[in-house]
Amino acid sequence: MTKKKEIMDEAALKRALTRLSYEIVEKHENIKDIVLVGIKTRGIPTANILASNIENHTGVKVPICELDITFYRDDLSTVADMPELKNSKFETEIDKKDVIIADDVLYTGRTARAAIEAIFAQGRPNRIELAVLVDRGHRELPIRPDYIGKNIPTSQNEVVKVNFKEIDGQTNVELYEK
């Protein structure tokens, strides 16, 4: 892959997540009923930043759950011969809560669909919403995010890569050509 350009630098990425956290707070009357669920891998730092921002705005510490969707994927046989299952047992009760799935990039919608199935395997929330840092289009399923950091129209031969310091050594959003 060839890097085409940086779409968002660290400051722009942080601004987008700050705005998303304000939107979440505005939409929810009772912040204490929210549970953030970060999809492994880069949905987790996305959820962590959103939770930190929400706590800074409201003083409420929103619980965060980590979700591995491996066994809920519809393309499991094409991912690996022996996929590794990581523990996704939630330490926070999600029944009758407003669950917000956090992920870095929304593309076809298949990851979000798998996350919804995995969440229902954990409990019965009142509502499930989707917060993404980047929506790049090309949906294959009727999935629409509730909170979007940035819409980035792409072609099928482009890849949007979100980087976080704790995983990638830098924080930004880049566009690559396949």
User: How do residues 28-43 score in pLDDT, each as one tens digit?
Assistant: 999 999 999 999 999 9
Q: In what order do the strands lie in the sheet with 98-106?
A: 64-67, 34-39, 98-106, 127-135, 147-151
Tokens at 140, concatenated = 């294959």
Tokens at 162, concatenated = 């979100």
Q: What's the per-residue H, E or C state across the chain?
A: CEEEEEEECHHHHHHHHHHHHHHHHHHCCCHHHEEEEEECCCHHHHHHHHHHHHHHHHCCCCCEEEECCHHHCCCHHHHCCCCCCCCCCCCCCCCCCEEEEEEEEECCCHHHHHHHHHHHHHCCCCEEEEEEEEECCCCCCCCCCCEEEEECCCCCCEEEEEECHHHHCCCEEEEEEC
Segment 81-117, tens digit of pLDDT: 555 555 566 989 999 999 999 999 999 999 999 999 9
Read off the pTM. 0.92
Check: CB of residue 105 under 8 Å from CB of residue 136. Answer: yes
Whole-number pLDDT of residue 77: 53
Among 106, 113, 175, 158, CA closest to 136:
106
Whole-number pLDDT of residue 71: 85
Cα–Cα distance, 3 to 27 (Å, whole number): 37
Cα–Cα distance, 111 to 143 (Å, whole number): 10
Q: Which residue stretches of the chain have pLDDT < 50? A: 79
Among 48, 51, 62, 19, CA closest to 171:
48
Whole-number pLDDT of residue 75: 67
